[in-house]
Amino acid sequence: MDQVLALLRAGGGRVTSSRRILLEVLFDADGHLTAEELAEAVQARAPDIHLSTIYRNLDELQRLGVVLHSHLGHGPATYQLAANAHAHFICEGCGAVVEAPVRLFSGLARSVKSDLGFVIDPRHFAILGRCSACAQESRRHRP
């Protein structure tokens, strides 16, 4: 947290209360928060902080590599600390978000690298599919 503030200052940025509070919220949260949810949490402590400020601060924190966002399914993006980053699977049946360690992707990463020369970043977009409950469900309907 203090490291992040120092990083901000090092880049010519200022430490403002909106940034401090946003970082506190991010450190407390478990990831998967949308900009709107973050704004709500921040506004619980400082009601005048505007949603657009949240977006601008999230952008800045992403530029610094502190935060990253992922697209889980179709809705708004969710933001999380880069240090806590993981991959996401979203169930198209029930909308459940399943977290997965990036390690699961190492095999894919290797073959994509050798076949296509492409270096993947599995954290940015979720992979869709069906969770175990919904997969069984659809197997029952269409066996």
Partner DNA sequence: GTGCTTGCAAACGTTTTGCAGACTC
Partner DNA sequence: GAGTCTGCAAAACGTTTGCAAGCAC
Q: Dig out the tokens for 119 from the structure.
A: 């270096």
86, interface contact from its own copies, DNA, none, CB < 5-8 Å by kind: none
Using CB under 8 A, which of 44, 63, 129, 137 touches its own copies?
129
Q: Which does 13 bind (CB under 5 to 8 A by kind): DNA, its own copies, none?
A: DNA
Largest CA distance in the chain: 61
What track of x and - describes contact with its own copies for positions 42 through 81 (by CB under 8 A)? -----------------------------x--x-------
Residue 90, H or E segment: strand 87-91
Binding mask 74-113 for DNA (x = CB under 7 A): -xxx------------------------------------
Task: Identify which of residues 24 and 76 has a Cβ nearer to its own copies in the complex.
Answer: 76
When CB distances are held under 5 to 8 angstroms depending on the partner's kind, the choice from its own copies, DNA, none that residue 140 binds is none
Count of other CB atoms within 10 angstroms of residue 61? 24
Q: Which is nearer to DNA, 57 or 80 (CB)?
A: 57
Distance CA 67, CA 83 (A): 8
**DSSP, residue by residue, 20-60:** HHHHHHHHHS-S-EEHHHHHHHHHHH-TT--HHHHHHHHHH
